[in-house]
Amino acid sequence: MIGRVHLLACIAIFGALIGSVATSRPGYSQSRAGEPGACLTAEEADLARRINDFRAELDLPPIPLSKSLTTVARRHVIDLNEQQPYLATDARGQPCNGHSWSDQGEWTAVCYTPDHANAPGMWSKPREITGGLYPGNGYENVYSSSAGATAAGAIDSWRASPPHAAAILEEDIWARVDWQAMGVGIGGTYAVLWLGEEADPQGAVPVCPQPDTTGTTTNIIVGEEDAFWLHSTICAILDSFNQGDDRLRRGRSFFDCKP
């Protein structure tokens, strides 16, 4: 009981940072993560490192981080968390899965079905979302966890799944590819990896500067992307507790968490 009180007190502090930006959901699909000036969170950088460490076990070269594919990855994480396109069906009544995209963004909606009939609509997202700046197709691994996505959870899941591991290691149906670009995104309950065969003309995406831990005072400015990650993480934490607790219901209402 005391732990929950402390949790809500911490959430209230986050709320002061997030403000109205965190609950402005229409802005999520308009974000520009991965464009010049953007950077990887520590968790995203960790995921990219773990992917290349996995490849190194088979003496494969590291895949360069891509600004374009990180843009795609970040936007898909937001769309999956906020719009849940995987809950829909296509015109044939076939269920959509986690590679799907909603109709609530600056892209063409696609319902990715188990038979891969609509796959081209997903593969073309790097060209579509970057306005042609990235010249080729992209291919995606998706991971989700109700407790909140992490780099460790994502790579462990993909390593244990032969189709996902094969994509990372250029095996089986991917044996003829030579990945030249990688984008990652983590937020809320989702982590995604995008891979491309073409080098990214936009170049790499840097890792965000780490917080000052020397004890000096640092002014923190929370941008739209940071607000989204905080909002999604807080909602995931609240979801992990007993939903019958009135204080948790008030917390979910305060942060506008989806049911």
The model's pLDDT over 1-15, given as tens digits with 9 standing for 90+, comes to 434 444 444 444 444
- pLDDT by residue (tens digit) across 158-205? 999 999 999 999 999 999 999 999 999 999 999 999 999 999 999 999
CB atoms within 10 A of CB 139: 19
pLDDT tens-digit readout, 128-163 = 999 999 999 999 999 999 999 999 999 999 999 999
Residue 36 has pLDDT above 90, yes or no: no
| Alpha-carbon torsion (139, 41, 150, 46), positive or negative | positive
DSSP per position, 108-149:
--B---TT-TTHHHHHTHHHHHTTTSS-S--EEEEEE-TT--
Q: Which residues of 192-211 are buried (b: 16+ CB within 10 A; e: fewer)?
A: bbbbbebebebeebebeeee
Q: What is the mean pLDDT of the chain?
A: 82
Q: In the chain, which residue ranges form alpha helices assigned H by DSSP?
A: 2-18, 42-56, 67-83, 119-123, 125-129, 151-160, 162-169, 224-239, 246-254
What strands lie across the sheet with 190-196, from one edge to the other? 139-144, 190-196, 181-187
pLDDT for 259: 65
Give me the pLDDT at residue 238, please.
67
pLDDT band per the 50, 70, 90 thresholds, residue 229: low
Measured between alpha carbons, how far is 98 from 139 in angstroms, rounded to an integer?
13
Tell me the angle at which helices 162-169 and 151-160 cross, rounded to the nearest 10 degrees.
100
User: What integer is the mean pLDDT of 219-226?
Assistant: 49
Flag the least confident range among 87-91, 98-102, 211-215: 211-215
- Identify residue 143 by its one-letter amino acid code: Y
The residues with which 181 forms a beta bridge, in sequence order, are: 196
